[in-house]
A and B are shown apart, each in its own frame.
Chain A
């Protein structure tokens, strides 16, 4: 159970990351930003390219950058890229419809989401790509007995353009007998050192996302509650017209909000793909929907609500199917977890439309 709970919390932390963007944008311009999931996807792709090119999973030692630093670079690229895309999207697509009514804006958002998704297919292809998994290597000294794992060595290759590329190559297969013969063969092939892969604990991704959320949430809270821009954001969400009369540049506030939301979503995108091991143009759709559900559960417009909602949804999505499988013997329960999330949304909307931490909005006639 603890394992499922932790998985749920990690997933929930990712939902929370994305939900923050939904909630901030909704708080300011009352728009459900459907394209938010695509910002997330874009960030995940940028992270993918950075991690691939920095070679976090390849053997050549020394690696260009230590693994941890590679991740910092990937996360920074992802969040800045997603933020830039969000600002551009807002400027091009959302600003013209801001006065056209909420439904028109919502449809525009749905369209933007689909357009970005399909452009991503055009650019990067529709097939899922394996996300680089960090691997750690350790040198193997004594070559006796039988091999308990595949052993690898660095192989120099010369490409057709004459460039020297270092790549890993398997030199000993698991179960192969080791000894003088193998040693002689390796020496003949020019492999001075052989390495074994250190199995990374699957749990490290969980720790990574939970830690990232724990670090990010206070920063965000500080930005929104303690800075001038944050104050302006809150003022605009309370009453845009009054805020303008007070000399607040609304367009700047909105751009900033979009940027901040996508900035966080980019982090979530990388984290999500690291834990699922693949990235594709449709990566953003389902987590985007889930994160929106999380924002509604927590009370849309509220930042602590988004985090709480994300954690609640992630945990529910992990524990409810677990309980159904263990309690009722329903083997297929995990295939239905997406349906459970949507059902949860409908239940929440019906019984407490303002969410757990939302303030009820009074409607005047």
Chain B
């Protein structure tokens, strides 16, 4: 029973981390309409900078260090987003996709080639446990705690992004996403709007990276392959471009499929790597707006109530 419980807790935490990644990707790809394929790079930036701080400031008390490392993860990822965003966001469509994809690969190559005493290089690196001791007995508590953290982070991000999209800056962004030229003629600076969204999105990806690093207790450059980007993309395409709650549903569908398949015998398990791209392609052809489209879950429930009344 305990093994089963651990499995489902692990699944939920992983769903949470992917939901966080997908929500932040959705701000960039869905709401802002940019075609960004390097999100796994920001995720890795966050994960590795949090790890670096955790190792190098080990004298600080655990919870404080945890919070600081998440802050650093966000800051580093945001800085990365700014440096890559300013030159690249003038590009459009497929050129932007390639440039950001290149960035994601650079981050992974850099980590892979880093000295072993700095970021672990291609062998990977251990992340010290600072929140609590993780043993067999405390495993359930640790996963519950991680779940609580990731749920709070996710909820806070969704609320923050929704409020942002209703603010002046957010409306500007939506205008730019609809028609960049027209928005420019109305006196909006399109590049500034897009860079802002890009930086916000990458900061949250960094946060997801920090939480991921502490949860996993170890990092490996192979965790940040392009396939992860495809998973995130599948999540937002399933959930709906521009729908944040759709991301959570999408994340659950994708992560649960993967993890349940992983329990199956080896011969079946590895087929998810063929299955995911296939579903993504089919979705993009037949229902490109995703399950929810731009609607949020709350909108859908409201319309159900209305039709029932």
Q: Tell me if B217 counts as interface (CB < 8 A to partner A).
A: no
A228 to B227, CA, bound (A): 42
Q: Tell me if A254 counts as interface (CB < 8 A to partner B).
A: no
Q: Which of B206-224 contact A (CB under 8 A)?
A: none
- A93 cross-chain contacts in B, Cβ below 8 A: 281
Which of A96, A110, A112, A293: most chain B Cβ within 10 A?
A110
Q: Which of B109-150 contact A (CB under 8 A)?
A: 109-110, 113
B281 touches A107 (CB 8 A): yes
A132 to B281, CA, bound (A): 36
Which of A107, A121, A285: most chain B Cβ within 10 A?
A107
- B97 cross-chain contacts in A, Cβ below 8 A: 32, 106
Q: Tell me if A345 counts as interface (CB < 8 A to partner B).
A: yes
0 or 1 for each of B88-107: is its CB under 8 Å from A? (1 = yes): 10110111011101110110
Q: Which of A98-142 contact B (CB under 8 A)?
A: 100-104, 106-108, 110-112, 114-115, 118-119, 121-122
Q: Tell me if B62 counts as interface (CB < 8 A to partner A).
A: no
Which of B37, B102, B105: most chain A Cβ within 10 A?
B102
- Segment of B152-160, B253-261, B270-278 in the binding face: B270-278
0 or 1 for each of B69-91: is its CB under 8 Å from A? (1 = yes): 00000000000000010011011
0 or 1 for each of A288-318: is its CB under 8 Å from B? (1 = yes): 0100110010000000000000000000000
Q: Tell me if B8 counts as interface (CB < 8 A to partner A).
A: no
Q: Tell me if B301 counts as interface (CB < 8 A to partner A).
A: no
B88 touches A342 (CB 8 A): no
- B53 cross-chain contacts in A, Cβ below 8 A: none
A102 to B101, CA, bound (A): 17
Size class of A's contact patch?
A: 35 or more
A104 to B286, CA, bound (A): 10
Q: Tell me if A343 counts as interface (CB < 8 A to partner B).
A: yes
B99 touches A345 (CB 8 A): yes
Q: Which of A33-51 contact B (CB under 8 A)?
A: none
- Segment of A151-159, A197-205, A207-215, A346-354 in the binding face: A346-354
A115 touches B284 (CB 8 A): no
A100 touches B285 (CB 8 A): yes
Contact A345 to B285, CB < 8 A, known contacts A339-B110, A350-B90: no
The contact of B273 among A32, A114, A292, by CB within 8 Å, is A114
A106 touches B35 (CB 8 A): yes
Q: Tell me if A1 counts as interface (CB < 8 A to partner B).
A: no
B280 touches A107 (CB 8 A): yes
- B113 cross-chain contacts in A, Cβ below 8 A: 332, 335-336
A346 touches B99 (CB 8 A): yes
- A110 cross-chain contacts in B, Cβ below 8 A: 37, 230, 277
Nearest CB in chain A to that of B93: its residue = A102
Q: Tell me if A338 counts as interface (CB < 8 A to partner B).
A: yes
Q: Tell me if A365 counts as interface (CB < 8 A to partner B).
A: yes
Q: Tell me if A97 counts as interface (CB < 8 A to partner B).
A: yes
Could you list 10 A-B pairs, sorted by A, with CB under 8 Å? A97-B284, A102-B93, A106-B97, A107-B233, A111-B230, A118-B277, A289-B102, A339-B110, A343-B106, A350-B88
Q: Could you tell me which A residues sit within 8 Å of B by CB distance?
A: 32, 93, 96-97, 100-104, 106-108, 110-112, 114-115, 118-119, 121-122, 285, 289, 292-293, 296, 332, 335-336, 338-339, 342-343, 345-346, 349-350, 353, 365
A112-B281, A346-B102, A349-B98 given; 9 more Cβ-contact pairs under 8 Å = A106-B35, A110-B37, A111-B278, A114-B276, A121-B270, A289-B101, A332-B113, A336-B110, A338-B105
